[in-house]
Structure 1
Amino acid sequence: MKSLTRSESLLLLGLFIFLFFSLGTSQLMLYSLDEAKNAECAREMYERQDWVVPTFNGQLRTDKPPLHYWVMMGSYALFGVSEFSARLGSILCGMGTILLIFAFAWRHFNARVAWISALVLLASLHVGVQFRMAVPDPYLIFFLTLAWVSFYGWYQQRKKILNLAIFYTSLGMGILAKGPVALVLIFAAIGLFLLFQGAFRKVFRLWLVPGLAWTLVLALPWYLYVHEATSGAWTEGFFLKHNLERFKAPMEGHGGFFLITPLYVLIGLLPFSIFIPQAFVRAWKQRKEVPSLAFGLSIAIVVIGFFSFSGTKLFNYTVPSYPFVAVLIAAFLDSVLDQEMAWKKLRPSLITYGVLAALLPVAFYLGLRLDPVVSHLAGWAIIFLTFPLGAAAAWYRFRHGEFSRTMLALAGSFVVTAVLFFQLAYPIIDRENPVNQTISSINPEEKVIAYKQFNPAYVFYLNRSVDVVNTPEALQEVLSTEPSVIVISRTEFLPELSTFSELQELARKRDLFETPTTILFRKTPPPLPRSL
C-alpha cells in the first residue's frame, strides 16, 4: 500500500481533527463561568458593532484582550449566535495547532514521529476539552506554536524572511489573544534554546527592531483605543489585576504548591505522559547534538517553569507546552520502538499506566456519585472502562513485540472515550446545570435582577442584561417599583433574602461539581384583603 504524502496526511488529519473537536460542541451549554462571559461579551460587542470595548452584562470586562471576541463576532455574523459559533474559533485553533506540530515533526524528525505526536495530542482528554471551549487559551496556544515553529524554520535557514514575517505576526496575534505573556514565553523559550546551542548571539539576527515594530503595528492600536475609550480603566484592570496580581498571588482560590504545575502536565497528557520522564531525560542528554529536541525541551521548561512560579495556577496554563512535549514523547518512542530490547525501556511505564487505568473508572464513578447534582448519573462512568481495556490491549500487543500497535491501543482507548464522553455522557450531565434547570421558570416579559452573585450564563441565554443589586435597600427599591420581578442569587445570601416576604422561591439547584447553589425567587403580589 502506498504511503501517504505529507500533504495528503495533513488534509486527512485536519478533517478528522475538525470533526473530532466538533463533537458535542452544539449540545453543551455555555455554562462555565469563563465560557459564558466570553460568549456573552462577544455577543454584546457584535450587537453594538463595537470592536474596541469588551463588556459583559453591560459592564466593562477587563479580563482578556479582544482576539477571541473578534473571532466569535465573525462566527456570529456567519452562523448566528450559538454555542457552536462561540466555540468554532477554538476548534480551528486546535486543528491548526496539531497540524503545525505534525508538519514540524515530519520535517525535523520523520513521518512516524509526526503521527505519534498527533496521537499524543488527540488522545489527551484535556486537549479535547481545551479546544472545545469558548476561551482565549486556544488562540494563544495556536499563535505561540506558530511563532515557535516559524522561528525554528528561520534558525534552520529555511525561507528566512517568510519565517520571520510569520514569527512577528504570530507574536502580535498572541499579544492580542492574551497579552504580554505571549512575549515573555516566546522569547524566554527562544533564549533558553539558543543558550543550549551555544548560539545566543543569533538572537540579534532576528531583525528585532523592524520585527517588533511590526508586532506593535498589529497589537498596539487596539490597546491604545481601548485605553482612550475607557479612560484607562481597561488598561488598569487588565495589566494590574489580571497580570501582575494574578502572577503574584492566587486569584479566585486557584493556588497550589510549586509541583502542581508539572503534575497538571502529567495528568493532562495521559496516557502518553507516562513516557515524559524518559522523553525529557533523552532530550536533555541529546540537547547539544539534536537541536530539534533541545528546542522542544526549552519550550517545555519555560512554560512549565514560568507557571510553576505563578501565584495563580490553573490547569489550562501549561497547555502551550503540550505540542512540543508531544514531540519529545514521540521522538523517544520512535527511538525505541524498533529496538530489540525496547520492552525493557517501556515496561515500567506501561505497568504504571495499567494500575492507573484500573483506578480511573473508579475515580470518575466516585466523582459523579459524590456530587448530589449528578449522583444519579454515576452509571455513565462505565464508558471509562475503555481505559483499563485499552491498557490491557496495549500490554497484550507489547508482550507480542508489536510496539506500534501498543501505541495505537493506548491512543485508541482515549479517543474512543472522548467520542463517547463528549457525544453521549457529557451532554446528559450538562443538562443538570442550574441554568438549564431553572431558566424555563423565567417569563420573557419579566424583569430579572441578581442579588450579589449569579451564574453569568443567565445573561447569554436570556439575551438581555441582568441588573445586579448588592444591598437589601437596593433590592427593596426594585421590588417596590416593579410589578413582577425574578431574583437570581445563591443560597449563601438566603439570610438576607428571607426578610422579603414578597419573594417566593421558584427553584434551587446546586452548581455542577461546585459548592455554590443557585436560587430563584419571584415577587408575588400581596394577598387581597379579606372581605367582611
Structure 2
Amino acid sequence: MKSKYFRITFLTILVIGSLLLATANLWGVTETSEARYAEISREMMRSGDWVHPSLLNIHHYHKPPITYWLTAISYLTFGVNPFAARFFLVIAYCLQIYLIFKIAKELLADEQKAWYASVIYATLPIVLMAVKGLTTDLFMVTSMLAAIYCWIEFLKIGKYLNLYGFALFLGIGFLTKGPAVFVIPFFSIISFIGVLPKPRFSLIHYLLAAGVFIVVGLSWFAYLIHNDQNLADYFIYHHLVDRVAHAEVFARRSPWYYYLPLFPLVSFPWIIIFFRYLFVKLNAGESSIELMVKRIVIWWLLVPLIVYSISSSKLILYILPLFTGFSLITAYYLNLNLGKRMVLNAFVLMSLLYLGLAGAPFYGHGIYLQKWLALLPVSALIISSYFVLKEINYKQVFIKLSLVFTGTLIIYSAFFLQQNILLANGISPITEFIKGKKLINRPVLVYDKLLPSLAFELDKDIISIYAGDKSLIREVQFEKDEKWRNSYIDLNQQSDKDKLQQLLSSKVVVVSKKKLLKEMEATMQGWQSKSFGKWTLYYN
C-alpha cells in the first residue's frame, strides 16, 4: 500500500496537471521559441522526415530531435493545435514532480520532506513558465532527473541495471539539448561523494553503459555527420563553442550577473524560506542529512549557477535545472522551525499580487481583460486569508498558500494570454481573420520577419520576404536542392524581386509588422488591409 505522502504527491500531480491540460489550448503559440519548436514539429509530421528538422522549409539543426519527435507524435494524436504542442510538456512536468519526490525521499530520508520538495518544485514560477511554452528545457530536465535517480539507486542498491538507466536517460537528455544535460548530474554526483555509498565498479558494465549512452545520445548526430561531414564543424563549433563563448552570434549576450536579480522572482514564495535559513548554522555535529544538504547547496546550486553565469549565452530557462536542487534544499529548511512572521510576510506579498491581478481588468492602457477575471484572484485572497487565520501549523499554511497561488497563476495567465495574445507575441487574431475571410488557400507572404507561428496556426507553408531583418538570415548551406527558394524571397536579388511582383499580381495575403517597400506599396494600391496591434494584413 502506498504511503500517505505518496498519495498526496499523486493528488498534487493530478490536480495541477489537470489544470494545465484544461487551459493549454486557450491561447495560440507565441514567438519566438515556442512557435519555432511547434512549427518544426509540424513540418516534421507533415513531411514524414523525422531525421532532418526544418523551419519554414529550410533545414534547422540548432537542437537535437527529441522535442520535435514528441510534439509531432502529439500532433498525430490530437491534431495540429496549441494543446497538442504543450501536451507532452505537461506529462514531463508531472514526471518531474514524481522524480523530485523519489529523489528527495532517498536523499533526505523522509517522505514528508519528499512531499515538501515535490510541492515546492511544482509551484515554482520558473517551472510553470517552462510548462506553459514549448521549449527543450523541460524535457531535458525530466531526463536529467531520471538519470540522477538511477545513479542514486545504483549507489544504494548496487544493481547495474540502474547504471544502464543512468546512461540511457543521459543519452535521451543529450538527444534533447546536447551537452547541457551533463551539468547538474556531474555536480550532483560530486555532492554524493562521502555521503552515499561508493559505486560498484566493473569495467565491462561501465563500458556497456557508455555504449548505451553513445547509441542513444549520439545516434542522430552520427547519422547526420556520416551523410554530411560539414555538420561536424557546425555542431561542435557553431552550436557548442559559440553558444558558450560567443553568444553574440545568437544575439543574446548578457552580463555575468544576468541571473542574480531574476532568481528571487522566479522562485517566489519559496525564496523567502530559502534565504531565511541558507546562512543559518546547522548543528555542529553534522548528520549525514545535514551534510547532504550542504553538499547540494554547493554542488547542485551555487557551482552550477557560476557555470551558467560564465557562459555568455543566457536565457532564464537555462537555469531551470538549478531549481531541482533548490527544491530539495528548501524542503529541508521548511522542516525547520517555520515562524508565523515568515508566513505572514509571504501572505502579505501574495495579497499585494492578488490585488494587482484583480485590478488589472480595470487598468486599460493597452491590456484587455474581461471583468469577471478579477473574481479569480479575489477568491484566492479570501481562501488564503482563511488558511492563515485558521491553521496553526505554519508549514501546512505555507504549502496551502503556494498551491492556491499556483492554481491562480495557471488559470489567470491562460486567460490573460488568450485575451492579450498580440501583446504576448502571438498572432491568433490574424489567423482567425484569414480563416474567417476564407483566404487560407491563397499564398501567405510575411514581410521581413521570421514568423513560424503563422505557418503553425494556419497549418500550411508560408513565404518569407527578406528585406534586411536579422531574424530572416537563414542557414542554407545544408540544402540539397533549390526547393527552399519556394518559401523564401530575398529582395537583394533581382530574380526574387521579379518573383515577388509575380506573386503580388495574383490573389495573395501579405502580413507585415513594418512599413512596406515603396515598390510593394505601389503594386498593392487599392488592396484591403486590417490592423492587428503592430501587425497589418493586406489582401486583394
- Per the normalisation by structure 2, the TM-score is 0.81
Q: Which moved more, 1:93-102 or 1:415-424?
A: 415-424
Unaligned runs of 5+ in 2: 468-490
Aligned residue for 1:65, secondary structure, equals: coil
Aligned residue for 2:427, secondary structure, equals: helix
Aligned residue for 2:288, secondary structure, equals: coil
Shift of 1:362: 6.5
Cα 1:209/1:116, change in 2 over 3 Å: same
Shift of 1:129: 3.0
Q: Which moved more, 1:3-12 or 1:100-109?
A: 3-12
Find the aligned partners of 2:47 and 2:282 in 1 and give their Cα distance: 52
The match for 1:514 is none
Cα 1:408/1:186, change in 2 over 3 Å: closer
The match for 2:90 is 91
Shift of 1:380: 4.5
Aligned residue for 2:451, secondary structure, equals: coil
Find the aligned partners of 1:248 and 1:391 in 2 and give their Cα distance: 46
The match for 1:248 is 245
The match for 2:502 is 480
CA contact (8 A) 1:24 1:422 kept: no
Find the aligned partners of 1:30 and 1:81 in 2 and give their Cα distance: 11
Shift of 1:265: 3.0
Cα 1:121/1:188, change in 2 over 3 Å: closer
1:208-247 correspondence runs (5 A): 208-229=206-227, 232-233=230-231, 235-247=232-244
**Per-residue Cα deviation, 1:356-407 (whole angstroms, up to 9, x for no partner):** 335435665898888965356698566445676576556545xx74213322
Shift of 1:181: 1.3
Aligned residue for 1:270, secondary structure, equals: coil
Find the aligned partners of 1:366 and 1:307 in 2 and give their Cα distance: 37
CA contact (8 A) 2:442 2:508 kept: yes
The match for 2:448 is 452
Unaligned runs of 5+ in 1: 337-341, 511-516, 525-532
The match for 2:488 is none
Which of 267, 276, 290 matches 1:269?
A: 267
1:79-478 correspondence runs (5 A): 79-107=78-106, 108-155=108-155, 157-194=156-193, 197=194, 208-229=206-227, 232-233=230-231, 235-251=232-248, 254-281=252-279, 289-290=288-289, 291-294=291-294, 296-297=296-297, 298-336=299-337, 342-343=338-339, 347=341, 349-350=342-343, 352-361=345-354, 373-375=366-368, 380=373, 383-385=376-378, 392=385, 395-396=388-389, 401-422=392-413, 424-430=415-421, 435-442=427-434, 443-471=439-467, 472=491, 473=494, 474-478=496-500
Find the aligned partners of 2:282 and 2:499 in 1 and give their Cα distance: 66
Shift of 1:506: 1.8
Aligned residue for 2:335, secondary structure, equals: helix
CA contact (8 A) 1:449 1:488 kept: yes
CA contact (8 A) 1:271 1:410 kept: no
Shift of 1:499: 5.3
Cα 1:371/1:452, change in 2 over 3 Å: farther
Shift of 1:10: 5.4
Cα 1:205/1:269, change in 2 over 3 Å: farther
Shift of 1:204: 7.4
Cα 1:322/1:64, change in 2 over 3 Å: same
Q: Which moved more, 1:40-49 or 1:475-484?
A: 475-484
Aligned residue for 1:32, secondary structure, equals: coil
Find the aligned partners of 2:282 and 2:227 in 1 and give their Cα distance: 49
Find the aligned partners of 1:354 and 1:128 in 2 and give their Cα distance: 20
Aligned residue for 2:420, secondary structure, equals: helix
Find the aligned partners of 2:186 and 2:171 in 1 and give their Cα distance: 13
Find the aligned partners of 1:280 and 1:503 in 2 and give their Cα distance: 67
2:523 corresponds to 1:506: no
Shift of 1:222: 0.8
Cα 1:277/1:434, change in 2 over 3 Å: closer
CA contact (8 A) 2:144 2:181 kept: yes
Cα 1:281/1:427, change in 2 over 3 Å: same
Give the residue type in structure 2 aligned to 1:437: P
Shift of 1:216: 0.5
Shift of 1:500: 4.4
CA contact (8 A) 2:431 2:454 kept: yes
CA contact (8 A) 1:488 1:519 kept: yes
CA contact (8 A) 1:454 1:488 kept: no
Cα 1:227/1:518, change in 2 over 3 Å: farther
Aligned residue for 1:446, secondary structure, equals: coil
CA contact (8 A) 1:21 1:128 kept: no
Shift of 1:130: 1.4
Q: Which moved more, 1:373-382 or 1:271-280?
A: 373-382
Find the aligned partners of 1:370 and 1:254 in 2 and give their Cα distance: 33
Cα 1:427/1:67, change in 2 over 3 Å: same
Find the aligned partners of 1:203 and 1:136 in 2 and give their Cα distance: 33
CA contact (8 A) 1:137 1:178 kept: yes
Q: Which moved more, 1:7-16 or 1:42-51?
A: 7-16
Cα 1:143/1:470, change in 2 over 3 Å: same
Shift of 1:167: 0.8
Shift of 1:453: 0.8
Find the aligned partners of 1:136 and 1:201 in 2 and give their Cα distance: 33
Give the residue type in structure 1 aligned to 2:210: L
CA contact (8 A) 1:386 1:414 kept: no
Give the residue type in structure 2 aligned to 1:412: L
Find the aligned partners of 2:256 and 2:372 in 1 and give their Cα distance: 35
**Per-residue Cα deviation, 1:24-57 (whole angstroms, up to 9, x for no partner):** 1122212332222212211211222222110111
Shift of 1:78: 2.9
CA contact (8 A) 2:19 2:411 kept: no
Give the residue type in structure 2 aligned to 1:246: R
CA contact (8 A) 1:41 1:69 kept: yes
CA contact (8 A) 2:188 2:300 kept: yes
Find the aligned partners of 1:384 and 1:407 in 2 and give their Cα distance: 17
Find the aligned partners of 2:371 and 2:307 in 1 and give their Cα distance: 37
The match for 1:43 is 42
Find the aligned partners of 1:308 and 1:505 in 2 and give their Cα distance: 50
- Per the normalisation by structure 1, the TM-score is 0.82
CA contact (8 A) 1:124 1:270 kept: yes
The match for 1:57 is 56
Find the aligned partners of 2:521 and 2:34 in 1 and give their Cα distance: 32
Shift of 1:229: 4.4
Give the residue type in structure 2 aligned to 1:435: I
Find the aligned partners of 2:245 and 2:33 in 1 and give their Cα distance: 21
Cα 1:379/1:351, change in 2 over 3 Å: same
Q: RCO (CA 8 Å, sep 6+): is it higher in 1 or 2?
A: 2
Cα 1:503/1:85, change in 2 over 3 Å: same
